[in-house]
């Protein structure tokens, strides 16, 4: 069998899998309904799955109160609120750790007084003040998407290599073609992006990941010759919470310092950021009907 015949067989297999995923996706879409908002209006965005007669959002503008803006932020980027991860940098390294009070285990202290392990005596909850400090640049935080009963409020696809812009736009196009509202955020480094899909009500993490996986498959079907090399992973990264763990975290957008460089913001199809004095106008521009 020559290479052309092999390619044809593989394409037939991919098409068969896509048909199966389309049928599954049709069932998932029964839970999704994106309503359009006129471009001149500036409302809080309608989550995927919200019907017009269920909308309870009030208009939010750049002149709205800080409390309303934080409420808007939290209405979208929802995960566990009993804990949250905070970003740290030291000795040229960086990462995220749960915010809380840590206590070093005395039994594991080494002879040179370096502490080998620790446990948390208290974990801090996610509050409006924590979100406000994130937006003001006092710290940078993330969120754990999977709640303790294995449900989530959003799913996000991470693109993180050289071709991330083309791949993210292709995925975004698939979302629109399938009637799934989605928005693109440029990462804090400016060298990657997240495509976010929000839900009106929390759904099983496994179901959210199936929806995103189906959309990725549809995208690859139309780009089979190019693939999606920059695609990294989905958030949530698990169908269920690992025993004794929190699951993977995702960094929250609109981080203050990167935002000053037009990173960690939501962008349009030409990768132009939506800006206002507090960096929240993407809510009004990104979620309007397209």
pLDDT per residue as tens digits for the range 226-269: 778 999 999 999 999 988 889 999 999 998 889 889 899 999 89
- What are the pLDDT digits (tens) for 16-53? 555 655 565 555 555 553 432 223 233 333 345 433 33
B/e letters for 152-183, b = 16+ CB within 10 Å, e = fewer, are bbbbbbbbbeeebbebbbbbbbbbeebebbbb
Domain spans in the chain, listed from the N-terminal domain onward: 3-80+145-286, 85-124
- What are the pLDDT digits (tens) for 157-174? 999 989 999 999 999 999
The pLDDT value recorded for residue 30 is 54
Give the contacts of 158 (CB within 8 A, at least 6 positions apart). 192, 193, 194, 231, 232, 233, 234, 235, 250
The pLDDT value recorded for residue 56 is 44
pTM attached to this predicted model: 0.75
- Residue 102 pLDDT class (50, 70, 90 cuts): confident
pLDDT higher than 80, residue 63: no
Choose the weakest-confidence range: 74-78, 220-224, 236-240.
220-224
């Amino acid at each position: 069998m020559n290479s052309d015949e092999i390619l044809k067989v593989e394409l037939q297999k991919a098409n068969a899998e896509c048909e199966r995923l389309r049928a599954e996706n049709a069932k998932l879409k029964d839970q999704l309904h994106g309503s359009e908002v006129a471009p001149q209006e500036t409302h809080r965005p309608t989550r995927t799955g919200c019907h017009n007669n269920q909308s309870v959002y009030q208009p939010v503008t750049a002149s709205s109160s800080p409390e309303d803006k934080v409420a808007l932020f939290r209405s979208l980027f929802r995960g566990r609120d009993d804990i949250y991860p905070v970003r740290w940098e030291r000795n040229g390294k960086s990462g995220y750790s749960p915010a809380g009070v840590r206590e070093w285990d005395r039994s594991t202290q080494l002879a040179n007084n370096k502490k080998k392990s620790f446990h948390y005596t208290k974990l801090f909850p996610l509050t409006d003040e924590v979100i406000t400090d994130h937006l003001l640049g006092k710290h940078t935080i993330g969120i754990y998407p999977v709640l303790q009963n294995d449900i989530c409020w959003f799913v996000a696809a991470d693109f993180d290599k050289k071709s991330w812009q083309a791949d993210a736009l292709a995925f975004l196009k698939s979302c629109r073609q399938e009637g799934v509202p989605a928005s693109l955020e440029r990462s804090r480094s400016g060298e990657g992006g997240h495509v976010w899909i929000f839900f009106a009500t929390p759904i099983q993490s496994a179901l959210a990941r199936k929806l995103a996986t189906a959309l990725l498959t549809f995208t690859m079907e139309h780009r089979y010759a190019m693939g999606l090399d920059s695609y990294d992973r989905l958030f949530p990264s698990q169908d269920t919470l690992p025993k004794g763990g929190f699951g993977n975290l995702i960094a929250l957008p609109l981080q203050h310092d990167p935002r000053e460089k037009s990173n960690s913001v939501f962008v349009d199809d030409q990768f132009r950021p939506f800006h206002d004095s507090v960096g929240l106008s993407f809510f009004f521009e990104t979620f309007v009907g397209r």
